[in-house]
């Protein structure tokens, strides 16, 4: 009989890269993977996607109802609809492990163990969730939204919840060693195993369709690219401000590609105009997912300019490894996980987070020193293509962890 695991995801699917990569590795390792997640309008209640048995819960099919259910979950950190569906699936399929992605559904998953004592509970923290809530909501201006967030999504409430969940789970997976150290320092979990599974990228990432003309590139252009969601906490303002220190090099320009609100767009455009650099910035906004590879590949430097905070100090984005796979230098902020990896692999340069003058200094080095540019790009490609900084290696660590855990049952 197949060994089955059920992943819980308080999001829609397919959307999450980490979920896809982990599930694929576990399936390749011989496990049967089910995923219980939210359902959008028009999506099937159940379907098979890349070998994953997807089961969906129709409780958040509009922006309004998503907000309502987020509040209901935050009241006591439990989702009864998810639990009823999970309990029903467990009776039919007999899962050996419940693998909970991120903090919101942790208590819902752990509750199942009261009814099925032999089941293992693995929590997979994609980020430092209590700190992420602080960052996500800090710039909200609407007084009603601010009050809602203060009552239901306050840092101390979610920190206390995180502590209980870590101490009750069988295992906790984190993306960086900094997060692992944080959990050990804060909670000193006695019986919980902590495992680091980073957000490395599969080498197959390079097999995507290419769009050579994705940029309106003029002769001599040097393109800095930021790809991903754009917001005040992402540090893109530092990149905009840095152009003011590079006015003697007008061929250096900035392309921002990713989802952003009208407020964020107006904020960045006003900033660029005030600095007199608006002609050197292009805000592309949302683009289809299949175009993002080309936006990264055909840039000269890929940027991860994250501001430093409790969130960015304890996680790492997939696009760091994606940028290195492409074979171009990366420029990252001094957030500890970013700094550690880039300096260890000598695959890019690091600037002081929030410091546009230092950002400009590092870009100037990459632009003027072609030997440095080539060395850093080649090192990143070598580490990810030939070394062990890719999902082909990371995925094996995850499957070995599961094999050991299941063999000890």
Sorted by where each begins, the domain ranges of the chain are 4-199+390-407, 204-385
What's residue 202's pLDDT? 97
What's residue 145's pLDDT? 66
Question: Rounded distance, CA 154 to CA 122, Å?
Answer: 25
Domains 4-199+390-407 and 204-385 share a fold: yes
What's residue 322's pLDDT? 97
What's residue 84's pLDDT? 96
Per CATH, the architecture of 4-199+390-407 is what?
3-Layer(aba) Sandwich (3.40)
What's residue 135's pLDDT? 81
CATH number for the domain whose boundaries are 204-385: 3.40.50.2000
Question: Rounded distance, CA 126 to CA 308, Å?
Answer: 17
Is the CA virtual torsion 128, 11, 292, 240 positive or negative?
negative
Q: Can you give the pLDDT of all 409 residues of the chain as single tens digits?
A: 679 999 999 999 998 999 999 999 999 999 999 999 999 989 999 999 999 999 999 987 888 888 888 888 889 999 999 999 999 999 999 999 999 999 999 999 999 999 999 999 999 999 999 998 888 766 566 666 666 667 678 899 999 999 999 999 999 999 999 999 999 999 988 778 999 999 999 999 999 999 999 999 989 999 999 999 887 678 999 999 999 999 999 999 999 999 998 888 998 999 999 999 999 999 999 999 899 999 999 999 999 999 999 999 999 999 999 999 999 999 999 999 999 999 999 999 999 999 999 999 999 999 999 999 999 999 999 999 999 999 999 999 999 999 999 987 6
Give the pair of three-digit tokens for residue 209: 């369709």
Task: Give the three-state DSSP class for 383.
Answer: helix
Taking CA atoms, 10 is separated from 57, 189, 198, 296, 297, in Å, by 10, 25, 20, 29, 32
Q: Are 328 and 302 in contact (CB under 8 A)?
A: yes
What's residue 293's pLDDT? 96
Q: Are 280 and 205 in contact (CB under 8 A)?
A: no
Find the Cα–Cα–Cα–Cα dihedral 147, 150, 151, 155, rounded to 10°: 170
What's residue 318's pLDDT? 96
Asked whether the bond before 160 is cis by omega within 30 degrees of 0, the reply is no
Give the pair of three-digit tokens for residue 363: 């870009």
What's residue 149's pLDDT? 67
Find the Cα–Cα–Cα–Cα dihedral 164, 170, 172, 173, rounded to 10°: -160
pTM comes to: 0.93
């Amino acid at each position: 009989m197949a060994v089955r695991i059920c992943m819980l995801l308080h999001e829609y699917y397919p959307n999450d890269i980490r979920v896809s990569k982990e599930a694929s590795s576990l399936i390749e390792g011989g496990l049967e993977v089910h995923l219980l997640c939210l359902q959008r309008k028009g999506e099937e209640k159940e379907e098979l996607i890349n070998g994953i048995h997807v089961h969906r819960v129709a409780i958040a099919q509009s922006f309004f109802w998503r907000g309502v259910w987020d509040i209901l979950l935050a009241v006591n950190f439990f989702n009864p609809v998810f639990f009823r569906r999970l309990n029903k699936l467990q009776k039919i399929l007999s899962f050996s492990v419940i693998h909970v992605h991120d903090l919101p559904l942790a208590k819902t998953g752990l509750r199942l163990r009261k009814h099925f004592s032999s089941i293992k509970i693995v929590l997979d923290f994609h980020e430092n969730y209590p700190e992420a809530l602080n960052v996500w909501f800090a710039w909200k201006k609407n007084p009603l939204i601010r009050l809602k967030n203060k009552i239901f999504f306050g840092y101390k409430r979610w920190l206390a919840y995180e502590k209980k969940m870590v101490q009750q789970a069988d295992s906790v997976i984190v993306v960086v060693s900094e997060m692992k150290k944080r959990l050990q320092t804060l909670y000193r979990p006695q019986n919980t195993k902590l495992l680091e599974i980073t957000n490395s990228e599969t080498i197959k990432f390079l097999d995507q369709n290419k769009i050579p003309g994705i940029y309106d590139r003029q002769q001599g252009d040097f393109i800095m690219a930021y790809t991903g969601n754009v917001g005040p906490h992402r540090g893109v303002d530092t990149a905009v401000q840095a152009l003011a220190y590079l006015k003697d090099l007008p061929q250096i320009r900035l392309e921002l590609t990713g989802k952003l609100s009208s407020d964020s767009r107006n904020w960045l455009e006003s900033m660029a105009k005030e600095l007199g650099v608006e002609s050197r910035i292009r805000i592309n906004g949302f683009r289809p997912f299949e175009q993002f590879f080309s936006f990264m590949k055909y840039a000269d430097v890929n940027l991860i300019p994250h501001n430093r905070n409790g969130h960015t100090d304890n996680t790492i984005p997939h696009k760091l490894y994606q940028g290195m796979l492409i074979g171009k230098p990366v420029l990252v902020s001094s957030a500890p996980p970013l700094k550690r990896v880039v300096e260890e692999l000598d695959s890019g340069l690091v600037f002081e987070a929030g410091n546009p003058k230092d950002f400009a200094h590092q870009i100037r080095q990459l632009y003027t020193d072609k030997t440095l540019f080539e060395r850093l790009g080649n090192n990143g490609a070598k580490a990810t293509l030939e070394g062990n900084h890719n999902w082909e290696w990371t995925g094996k660590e995850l499957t070995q962890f599961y094999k050991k855990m299941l063999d000890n049952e």
